[in-house]
Amino acid sequence: MTWDEYVSAWSRLHGGFDPRNASVLVRGWVLCAYKIGIFLGNRRISPLTVTVAGVVLCLAVPAAVLLGPAGLIVGALLVLLAAMADGLDGAVAVLTGRTSRAGFVYDSVADRIGELAWLTAFWLAGAPGPLVVAAGVTSWLHEYVRARAAAAGAPEIGAVTVGERPTRVAVSAVALLVGAVHPAALVVAVTVWLVLQVAGLAQLVVALRRTLR
């Protein structure tokens, strides 16, 4: 499957959004997943296997931070590996023709479990519990609004906001890495996570009102 064919298939699964018109971060994210997905697909690795691997990596992050500063660095690496797995399961599914509604649900659930694990890691590393809960609630609400909007027939709701998962990944990885030296960075990171999710949610609401009006 060529890059253009892949983008067309990927776009149909993401509300019609074309990653070629996205930011460098999102475009690079999708392109990297495409290239590695070809490698995995050629070796008959299933999308579900990649999804499960990603969840396991996420669940290892809270355990890693309990090891102290070195564990925070390990946690940052685990977040990046889990994020890679998250992008790869969908890529493998598209490239091997194994996309399904069940796989879409599994992937979404895996994402929420992963983010819960990352936020738990922040809390274990010293971030205030109420702030962590608020960040988690807003990110989940962000995704809930997107899902309900898509169910209501709003294709434009697939537009990328400032609070997308790549942003959460970047915030989490940087926070854990810097937090190994400066613990206060974890509080800043959770605050940034919260602010970006609120802003992203506002973007989704505006898009929804415009599309379904």
pLDDT tens-digit series, residues 121-157: 999 999 999 999 999 999 999 888 887 777 776 655 5
Q: Looking at residues 28-40, what average pLDDT do you find? A: 86
For the stretch 75-80, contacts whose Cβ atoms lie closer than 8 Å and that sit 24 or more positions apart, written own/partner, are 75/121, 75/176, 76/172, 76/173, 76/174, 76/175, 76/176, 76/177, 76/180, 79/118, 79/169, 79/172, 79/173, 79/176, 80/169, 80/173
- What is the reported pTM? 0.84
Q: What top-level class would CATH report for the domain 3-212?
A: mainly alpha
